[in-house]
Structures are given as structure tokens and as C-alpha cells.
Structure 1
Amino acid sequence: MSSAAGPDTATEPDRPADKKTGTFSSLKIRNYRLFATGAVVSNTGTWMSRIAQDWLVLSITGSSFAVGITTALQFLPMLLFGLYGGVLADRYPKRQILLCTQAALGVLGLLLAGLTLGGVVQVWHVYTIAFLLGVVTVVDNPTRQTFVAEMVGPDVMRNAVSLNAANFQAARLVGPAVAGVLITAVGSGWAFLINGLSFMAPLAGLLLMRTAELHKIERAPRGKGQLREGLHYVAGKPELIWPIVLVGFIGTFGFNFPIWLSAFANKVFDSGAGTYGLLNTLMAAGSLLGALLAARRSRTRLRMLVAAAAVFGLLEGAAAVAPVFWLFALLLVPIGIFGLTFNTTANATVQLATEPVMRGRVMSLYMMVFVGGTPIGGPVMGWVTDTYGARVGFLSGGLISAAAAVTVGLVLARAAGLRPRLDLRRGNGRPLVSFVPRAGRQAMPASSASASASASADDDTATSDGARVPHEGGPDPVAGSDPGSGSGAGSDSGSGSGSGSGGSGTDEAAPRLTPAV
């Protein structure tokens, strides 16, 4: 990393001890504390702006479809150019990139505030600024995601990913509530102004970081074919491609809450901006709880990823048919818990299974399918909501999410040589679904199965450097082996540099789709 403003007094990266599993382990690292402090301020402003933006468009047009168009325009650049952002994140110093992107986001927030407070804002202004925000996010998002590894190293990266989510959701608790009161009292413009000013906090945090304490990550050299290289890398790793597929489906159809919650508040429950803010706050409370629970987990399992996605979709369906406001509002809390559990599990699984030099490109693909599907799902769900009602729109998103989770779970189980089994005798007479080896076959890692159909499996899991690690625990058809083993095989060998020996290995043993049988 090149030097910049801020003291560079340390000579060694500020690393925590191995295998820390405390909820707030990452906050013991100074650079991450600065990052997190700035983020919670700007995230609060961002949530205020999101609520104000959705309500402003709805009040100008009276159309959920228009809200969907706004959301689509904000995420369309990620769909079109997302992979290029990952190339930049892999090639250039991430801290310097973030200084530029955070400043640009602040300027755009102030521009929208000026138009709104000046009384001249029109819907096309909101559309244009939403699109420009999306362009900046193409670079900012994968850079922020991968900068976590430079701040904390591999040992507590899962914890840092979860705390990032908790940070975002804590801001979501405050932002929508404040925005609802502010919009009702003085209008949307002041929410946009606060958002623009809030970006001064992350800029200050980045400038105050000690660059000598950042973990050195090998940067990708300039060259042709880097986009293609990233796509080929993901295509050859089942432990990456199937989580990304599931993320794409749920990101496209299951996370259209600006459309659904604004429609429920305005049309189903005949309420105003205050109720819309309250609904977002309740979901944020669940998401914050889910993030804090995720921060305590030391294992990243694909089984948890699939299960969280399925329950998330079913809860959305239940909320869609809730007959009264209080039941609908209460269901938003567990929806937030399982939605956040899905998000953090997917993010950590993909990052830990990726070599550091490829991480920017892989995470840009991850974000491209996660939020880049919104330009498709947003207008579709907006049209369904306008045409058939908010309940049908919400229900359809939930059912698609649950169906995608079940399908991906079965594909992962089949790749691992397993089949589902319903055992009515277990669990005190309650049905219990488990996965067992298919007749005549022995369970094998999905990654091995995809590489060679004739490869024989045993009861061990291969780590990224070829070492064999015995399974632990019971059947886990879509579980990753514990990549959080600290100095175990496939880790950075305690170097703390984040790149492994020669930069050829992953930060930690890659999650495997291997059951214990």
C-alpha cells in the first residue's frame, strides 16, 4: 500500500491472536475501528436517503412501478459494469479507491439535497442521481468488501464481515426512523442533506488509518483477459458458483423491500411515511440480531446458507398474507434475521474460498448477481405489485426465494453424492429431513465430483494445499468444512499477510461441499 495521510508508526500489522471467536474481535484492530466508526455514520445517512428517495418518488408519481424503476437504475450499473469494478479493486490500492468513491457519493447526496430543498426536484432528477450513485457503487462495493481482508487479515475476517453487516443494520435501525420523522416534519430534502454530509466520517477514518498496519495483499498486474480469468476461476469451483447462483435468485426476487414495504404502508394499511420508516426499522432490528449472531459463529456452512434462504422465503410468504398490521410488522423481524444470516454466510463463504489475488473480481461477480439482478427484479416486482397488489407481489418474491433455496440445496447434495431422507422416528416423532449417501455410492466432495466423475471419495476433506483433514460431526450434505482452523492446512501459515505462501493459496482452507458420513 502506498502511504497517505495518517501516522505510520507501526512496523507490524496489528493482528489479533489466532482463533478469536468473540462477537467484537475485529474491533480490537485500530484500522478496522476507524473504518467501522465512519461506516456507521455514513450508513445512517444512506438509510435516511433511501427512505426519503423512495417516498419522494412515490409522492411525485403515486406509482410502485416508479419506485421499482428508481431502484433498478441505481443497480443497473452493477449489472452492466460490475466485473470491471472488481478488476480495479484487484489492481489498485483499495484505500485510495475508497477515498475517491466515498467523496463522490457525498457529492451526489448533496446535489439531490440542493434540488429538493430548492423546490425544483423532478422524478428524472432522482432517476439520474440514482444511476450515478450506481456507477460509483460499481467500484466502491467490491473495494469495500475486499478491503476488510487488508484491515483484519484472515483470522477474524468472518467476524469482520458479520460486524460490517451489523454496522449497516444498526444504522438501518436509526436511519429510517429519523427519516420518517424528518420527512413528515420538514420534507425529504433535509434527509438528503444529512446523507451528503455523513460521508465526511468515512473519509476521515480512511485518512487516519495507519497504512503500515494493513495486511499486504498481492495486487493483480495490469494485463488482458483478467475478466475472463475471474469468470473461469469461479466456474471451476462449485463452492463458489452455487452460492453465487442462489445469491442471484434471492437478490433479484427476494430483496425488493423498498417496493413492498412502501406499498404495504401506503396502500394496504393506508398509512404514511412514519409507518414506512417503522417497518424498515423493525426489519433492521431483526437484521442486526442476525448479524450479531453470525459474528459469533466460527464455521461457514453451505447448509446454513441454504436453510437460511429457504426460511427467509417462507417467512416472506407468511408476511404477505398476514391479515393485520401488527402481525405483518412482527414477521419483519425474523425476515431480517434470516435475510442477514443468508447475506453474511454467502459473503464469508465466497471470500474465504477465494485466493486473495482473485478476491476483487470474485466479489464483483458476487455483487453483480446480488444487486445487479435488481434492474430485472425491481420493475418486475413493481409491476406485479401495481397490477395484483402488494400481497401478491410480496408472496411471489418469497416463493421464488424458497424454491431457489430448495433447488440449489438438492443440486449441492447430488453433487456430493447424497439424497434426502425423511425419518419419522427421530426428533420425538417429528419429521426430520437428513441427507445420506445414494445407494451404491459413497459421499464425495462436490468439487472433486465436478472435476472427475470417477474420482473415489473417502471420509476426509481435502484442503487447498492437498492435506487431508478428518470430518467432524454428523451428516452435513451442504456443509463447508471448517475453514476457520487458524493455522491448519490451507491457511496463511500464520504469516498474516493475507496472501499465503507465494500468494498461491487461499487465506484459509476453502469451504468444501463434503458431508461427514
Structure 2
Amino acid sequence: MRRRAMFRSLSVRNYRLYALGQLFSNPGTWMQRIAQDWLVLQLSGGSGIALGMTTALQFLPMLFLGLWGGALVDRLGKRRLLICTQSAMGVLAVALGVLATVGAAQVWHVYLFAFGLGLITVLDNPGRQAFVPEMVDRELLSNAIALNSASFQLGRVTGPAVAGLLIAWIGSGPVFLVNGVSFGFTIVALLLIRTAELNPTEPVPRGKGRIREGLAYVRGRRDLTLLLLLAACTQFFGANGQSQIALMVNNVFETGAAAFGVAAACLAVGALIGALLAARRERPRLRLILMGSMAFGVAQIVAGLMPTYPTFIIVLVPMGIAFMTYVTTLNATFQLTVDPQMRGRVMSMFLLVFMGVAPIGAPVVGFLADAFGPRTGLVVGGAVTVLVVAVLAVPLFRDKGVRPRDLIPGRRRAAARRPAPADRGRGVETAVEAGAGETSPAPERLTDEDLTAPRSR
């Protein structure tokens, strides 16, 4: 029964097709990420700054164009948009794969590829986020988001391990070629989707001020503003975890590509476990966001202090669980609590933080690694995360009329009886009862009881 509940959104044909395409495509994406990082390290002589620059260029477009991309997504058909973006990504992967395979690739080629990929991501990522609610009803949305994350993390488990073996055997170039072909699975799935069974959001009319409208919407939601600030501070270092792992494996433990693949897979195993646990939950909870991000910061500190490669990769598993608990819960909170016609713009802001902060943090991580060693980057990043979560937890809980000490088991009942403050903000909402695609009813607020009640089993 629990297993059936965990995969309940797969009962929808369109989503089942989409999820199947992603299941086959995601390993290729993660294979490419490993190949890209390793190719840069080999071409640059192990430079942390070069690795940071590659990450920065890939995420820089989201930083400057993310809001524009979200506004455009609200105006376009999501299915056709994704067919175009997935095709373009496949072409880029094949092009770099050919260059690397024939031995003609240079560092600037990888920079150009990363920047082009980032430009496409400006539309692809918010498009994928906004397309899921068109395939499933609102009561299945949280489960669908978690299963998307689980599929992505499953690819993260298998992809790096396969990539590490392939790189050691035949080099990085063929890995890019494999990923280019893997985009075909998602494209075929999108073509097979029955458009009559979709529940598309009414497109936003073309006009001036759409980006300002989205910014004003989020600014009027104090809870979303604080959560975006939390995500920005956490992602400053957390978004560069893959680069930090590469630097630890290559520069500290001095192991090869296969060991890098195993380390990345260990992080992904934890993330997969976290995503599957999230699929069992019916709605997001604020305390899970805070607990997950806090545990992620602590795990970063511990990983940076590990003396050997085996102990390092062991810590990566709970780090992945904590990170995915935080990410999936935060994602579901944003998806379920915004006006559907605002979803593209709001999710672009969400992704702007998750991906756009990386260009700022990546060079900092690279500098810390080159100047003080990769361990420093992990420890400093974890310490910053722990501090930020501790500071922002106070206003977030205060807005709900709950003091952090009320979360202690013996105080939960008293906190649940205390009335919530009157309209200090619209609150972190769950809105699982409202119908998908409706724009007039306001989403429900998350009550004190939601914050303090034990997790459903």
C-alpha cells in the first residue's frame, strides 16, 4: 500500500511517459557533468579556478536572464518549448563530444559549451517545472515533484559511475556523445503525450511589466522571500558541491576518474534516498526545509574534515539525503502555493536562486581551494549554511506563531493550541485541496499544527 502511494502520480499516462523519458535521459546528463568537470581538469592542469569558471559560465545566463525566461515560459506552450530546448541541448552535447573525441577540444571550447547550455537552461528549467502541474492534478503534484527528483538522482547514481569507467577507458569525448543521444528519449516521450489530456494553464497575455508583476507577487509573500534568501545563502556553496568533490578527489586524495565517479555516485545514492522519502509525504512542511538544510551544512563540515577517501565518500550519503530533503520540500512548497499563472515567473526566481547563485559562488570556491585547499571550501560552506539556517528560522517560525523551542516534542501540543498571528503574510501554504489550474481560490495557509505535528507515516 505504501509502495503504491509512493508512485501514485504514475497512474497518469502523460506523466508516466514523461517520467519514463526522463528515467532514460537523466543518466546521460550526469555522465556529461562528470565528463565536463574531468575534461576541464585535464585540459587546465587541475585548476580549481578553471573548474569554477566553467560552472560560472554555465549558470551565468540564469542569473541575468532567468526572470525573462520565466516570463516567456508563462506565455508559451510548455510541451513545444521543451521539445525545442531538449533538441538544442542534444546538438551542443554532440558538438563538444566530437571535438573531445578527435583531440581538438580546448578549455575555451568547454567554456563556450557551458555558456550555450546555460542559455538554453534559462527556458528549459522553468519550462519543465511549470509543465508538471499541467500533467497531474494538484493532489498528485507533490508526489510527481518527488518522483522527478528521484529519477534525476537515480541518473546521478548510475551516470557518474558509468562516466568514470568510460573516461578511464576511452576518454571524455564519447561520454558527451552518449548524452547527446539520450536527449532523444525525452523528446520522444514529449511527442507521445496526449495534449487533450493536459490541463494547460491559460497563457499570460503579452505585455509590459510581466517581470515586475512577478517580482511584486513574491515581494508580497514574506514567507517566499525568506525561503529564497535561505536558498541563496545555502546554494552559494552547495550548488558547487560537484566541483568541490572533484577537487577533493583530484587534489587531496589524488585518485583517478573512476574514484571521482564513485564519490559522485555516493552523493547521488543519498539524494535518491532523500527523494524517495519525499515521495511518501503528502505535503511539504517548513521544519523539513530547515532541518534538511541544517543537516546538509553539518555534513559539508564533516566531509571537509574526513582524513581518507573511504571516510569521505561515506559522509557523502547522508549529505545527499539532507540536501534532497531540503530541495524537494522547498520545490513542492513553491509549486503548491503560487497562482498558476504566476508559476513560470515564480519558479524562474526559484531556479534563479538555485542556479544563478552558482556563478558567484563557483569562483569563490575555486579561489578557496587553490589558496587554502579544497577542505576549506567544504568547511566554510557548511559553516555558512548552518549559520544562515539558524538565523532565518526565527522569523520564519515567528510568522507562523511558533517559537523554535515549541518544536521540542513536549511543547508541540501547547504550540498547536496557540492561535496563529493575523495575516502577517500569506504563509507557507500547502493547498493540496484546491483543483489544478484554478486561479481564483487562494491557496491554504500552513497552520501551526502543520509545523509542529509529527510526520505522517
The TM-score normalised by the length of structure 2 is: 0.93
Conservation of the 8 A alpha-carbon contact between 1:302 and 1:513 = no
Partner of residue 499, structure 1: 437
Partner of residue 327, structure 2: 343
Q: In structure 2, what is the Cα distance between the partners aligned to 1:315 and 1:169?
A: 18
Partner of residue 53, structure 1: 36
Conservation of the 8 A alpha-carbon contact between 1:48 and 1:191 = yes
Q: Could you list the per-position Cα deviations for residues 390-445 of structure 1 after superposition, in whole angstroms to 9, with x for gaps in the alignment?
A: 1111111111111111111112123334444399xx87xxxx897987xxxx6534
* 1:105 aligns with one of 85, 89, 92: 89
Look up the equivalent residue of 1:123 and give its one-letter code. Answer: V
The structural deviation recorded for 1:95 is 0.3
Partner of residue 275, structure 1: 259
* 2:342 aligns with one of 333, 358, 368: 358
Q: In structure 2, what is the Cα distance between the partners aligned to 1:405 and 1:195?
A: 36
Look up the equivalent residue of 2:437 and give its one-letter code. Answer: S
Partner of residue 40, structure 1: 23
* 1:265 aligns with one of 227, 249, 255: 249
The structural deviation recorded for 1:258 is 2.3
1:313 equivalent in alignment to 2:305: no
Q: In structure 2, what is the Cα distance between the partners aligned to 1:148 and 1:326?
A: 38
* 2:376 counterpart SS class: helix
User: Bigger shift: 402-411 or 170-179?
Assistant: 402-411
User: Bigger shift: 257-266 or 289-298?
Assistant: 257-266
* 2:405 counterpart SS class: strand
Q: In structure 2, what is the Cα distance between the partners aligned to 1:31 and 1:214?
A: 8
Of Structure 1 and Structure 2, which has the larger fraction of its residues in helix? 2
Partner of residue 206, structure 2: 222
* 1:449 counterpart SS class: coil
Partner of residue 409, structure 1: 393
1:162 equivalent in alignment to 2:146: yes
Conservation of the 8 A alpha-carbon contact between 2:263 and 2:313 = yes
Alignment of 1:275-294 (within 5 A): 275-294=259-278
Conservation of the 8 A alpha-carbon contact between 2:147 and 2:279 = yes
Partner of residue 509, structure 1: 444
Partner of residue 326, structure 1: 310
Partner of residue 385, structure 1: 369
What percent of counterpart residues are identical?
A: 45
Look up the equivalent residue of 1:198 and give its one-letter code. Answer: S
Look up the equivalent residue of 1:174 and give its one-letter code. Answer: T
Q: In structure 1, what is the Cα distance between the partners aligned to 2:106 and 2:260?
A: 22
The structural deviation recorded for 1:369 is 1.0
Q: In structure 1, what is the Cα distance between the partners aligned to 2:406 and 2:92?
A: 54
Q: In structure 2, what is the Cα distance between the partners aligned to 1:274 and 1:444?
A: 53
Partner of residue 454, structure 1: none
Q: In structure 2, what is the Cα distance between the partners aligned to 1:197 and 1:299?
A: 36
Conservation of the 8 A alpha-carbon contact between 2:292 and 2:323 = yes
Residue 415 to residue 482, structure 1, CA distance change in 2 (3 Å): closer
Partner of residue 252, structure 1: 236
The structural deviation recorded for 1:327 is 1.7
Alignment of 1:131-280 (within 5 A): 131-280=115-264
Partner of residue 64, structure 2: 80
Partner of residue 13, structure 2: 30
Q: In structure 2, what is the Cα distance between the partners aligned to 1:374 and 1:142?
A: 17
Conservation of the 8 A alpha-carbon contact between 1:252 and 1:371 = no
Q: In structure 1, what is the Cα distance between the partners aligned to 2:22 and 2:37?
A: 22
Let me know the Cα RMSD of the aligned residues.
Answer: 2.4
Residue 96 to residue 513, structure 1, CA distance change in 2 (3 Å): farther
Q: In structure 2, what is the Cα distance between the partners aligned to 1:230 and 1:317?
A: 36
* 1:155 counterpart SS class: helix
1:448 equivalent in alignment to 2:423: yes
Q: In structure 1, what is the Cα distance between the partners aligned to 2:62 and 2:445?
A: 27
- Structure 2, gaps ≥5 residues long: none
Conservation of the 8 A alpha-carbon contact between 2:17 and 2:193 = yes
Q: Could you list the per-position Cα deviations for residues 160-211 of structure 1 after superposition, in whole angstroms to 9, with x for gaps in the alignment?
A: 0000000000001110000000000000000000011111111100001100
Of structures 1 and 2, the one scoring higher in RCO (CA 8 A, sep 6+) is 2
Matched residues, number: 449
Conservation of the 8 A alpha-carbon contact between 1:21 and 1:298 = no
The structural deviation recorded for 1:450 is 4.4
Q: In structure 1, what is the Cα distance between the partners aligned to 2:430 and 2:122?
A: 31
The TM-score normalised by the length of structure 1 is: 0.83
Q: In structure 2, what is the Cα distance between the partners aligned to 1:189 and 1:97?
A: 28
User: Bigger shift: 53-62 or 20-29?
Assistant: 20-29
Q: In structure 2, what is the Cα distance between the partners aligned to 1:59 and 1:187?
A: 11
Residue 434 to residue 314, structure 1, CA distance change in 2 (3 Å): farther
Look up the equivalent residue of 1:483 and give its one-letter code. Answer: A
Q: In structure 1, what is the Cα distance between the partners aligned to 2:37 and 2:23?
A: 21
The structural deviation recorded for 1:84 is 1.0
Residue 55 to residue 434, structure 1, CA distance change in 2 (3 Å): farther
Q: In structure 2, what is the Cα distance between the partners aligned to 1:435 and 1:365?
A: 36
* 1:483 aligns with one of 431, 445, 448: 431
User: Bigger shift: 414-423 or 301-310?
Assistant: 414-423
The structural deviation recorded for 1:481 is 6.0
Q: Could you list the per-position Cα deviations for residues 324-348 of structure 1 after superposition, in whole angstroms to 9, with x for gaps in the alignment?
A: 2222111100100010011100100
- Structure 1, gaps ≥5 residues long: 1-19, 452-478, 493-497
* 2:138 counterpart SS class: coil
Look up the equivalent residue of 1:264 and give its one-letter code. Answer: M
* 2:368 counterpart SS class: helix
1:298 equivalent in alignment to 2:246: no
